[in-house]
Chains A and B, each alone.
Chain A
């Protein structure tokens, strides 16, 4: 589908993860949604690494600007990097749902660890990595995996380019 639809879908997801999910989820300080990030990883697989890079940097920057508390930059850097990497690995291949979900697993862990390393490096957080890992990284990871499994088919249809004849998409 066209890139404008993808952007609208990502914007809606961004609103959902900041303004809807924190009120619905149990333990909102431990389970933290990163739905936009999951979709950016998918766009690396089903679209192209460059669009994943641009979407990652763009939506990361949106998150950085809107939630400016201490510093800006980590979200846009790691979202772009992870989107690009998922594209480099799986861009022109047939991706099974299992591969896609395991990519989401590793990418989420890397993203959380990278962002944590930056905050730790600039001494903004005192927490230890072990604590952060079990306190919010693992519970959020489970939420992200759940979202990835639920949204996989829909995301594939949303993200794939239109050069296929439309009949083939309907068959899915």
Chain B
């Protein structure tokens, strides 16, 4: 009797290790049962989350009523700056297009940074302390894929870690860890010094609630108070997404490079709406995707 229990426990441990090993591998597409369970759960979670958010939202609005005037004032100032910058931007954009045409840029090169920003609703927040996740209500049917960046108006929130047809899971950048086999480091640089600064956003320290940038070279222009944005140099994540502000710059472990501590801009709690940054498809991807898309369209039409 006891032996049987022991045997079952061992079997359970073996199964656990096997499942962990399988799920740790770099899986781009989930199996159909998984997708079905996730989509079904996300629909129900969506109802509950939006209902709760509506109620708590009203309560928060009442509390925030006082600061409304101040906020409006601040926004008015921002709009003034924005209109001025917009005029300047239009000139620069036109000039840039003219030069790109002169230099015979291909269509792909020209559209490389024309990102699509798709608004998604958060439907659930994970209840595992070591594996913080957000579930959003967009999936492969809406063009979302793994490793896309997710932002709020304040800045970068996380990276899509798993996708099913109508929902996907976001792993926040607070899950970044130096030696983690499941999250990738993000290439970053400082705003206004994009060509002169470069670092690797490699980990998040939950104890101090700060992000860490490593491998900053000695002659780097990066300084305290700089706004940190993604550089797009890894070609994996889009460029120009706000990450945070440099708080502290010090010599790294081996004395060869510098490390910077960064305070995150995006707020993690009470998230309701986020945006998925969808990069333009490369020519090779489009050719590969087209026949499949035509097929599914045909199948969907009754």
Contacts and interface: CB of A to CB of B under 8 A. Distances in A.
Interface of A: 11, 15-24, 28-29, 32-34, 62-63, 65-75, 77, 80-81, 112, 115-116, 118-119, 122-127, 131-132, 135-137, 140
Contacts of B205: 126
A123 B34 contact: no
Contacts of B182: 69-71, 124
Contacts of A15: 44-45, 48
Contact of B132 (A62, A69, A77): A69
Interface of B: 9, 12-13, 15-16, 19-20, 22-24, 30, 34, 37-38, 41-42, 44-46, 48-49, 52-53, 56, 123-133, 135, 161-162, 169, 171, 175, 177-183, 203, 205-207, 268-270
A16 B145 CA distance: 28
26 contacts: A15-B44, A15-B48, A18-B125, A18-B126, A18-B127, A20-B48, A22-B125, A22-B127, A23-B52, A23-B53, A32-B127, A34-B127, A62-B37, A62-B41, A68-B23, A69-B133, A70-B23, A70-B180, A71-B24, A72-B23, A75-B128, A77-B16, A115-B130, A123-B181, A125-B180, A126-B177
Given A69-B171, A131-B207, A132-B129, A29 B268 contact: yes
Given A20-B52, A69-B169, A123 B180 contact: yes
A19 B48 contact: yes
A116 B128 CA distance: 10
Contacts of B13: 77
Contact of B127 (A33, A70, A124, A131): A33
B23 A73 contact: yes
B45 A18 contact: yes
Contacts of B38: 65-66, 68
B124 A18 contact: yes
A74 B16 contact: yes
B176 to A, nearest CB: 9
Q: Is the interface of B mostly helix, strand, loop or mixed?
A: mixed
A82 B181 CA distance: 28
B236 to A, nearest CB: 18
A80 B12 contact: yes
A69 B207 contact: no
A80 B268 CA distance: 31
3 pairs of A and B residues whose beta carbons are closest in the complex: A19-B48, A72-B23, A73-B19
B207 A127 contact: yes
Contact of A23 (B46, B128, B270): B270
Among B16, B34, B162, the one with the most A-chain Cβ atoms within 10 Å of its Cβ is B16
Given A72-B19, A126-B178, A126-B205, A63 B56 contact: no
Contacts of A69: 126, 128, 131-133, 161-162, 169, 171, 175, 182
Contacts of A72: 19-20, 22-23
A119 B38 CA distance: 22
Contacts of A20: 48-49, 52
B206 A67 contact: no
A123 B176 CA distance: 11
B149 to A, nearest CB: 16
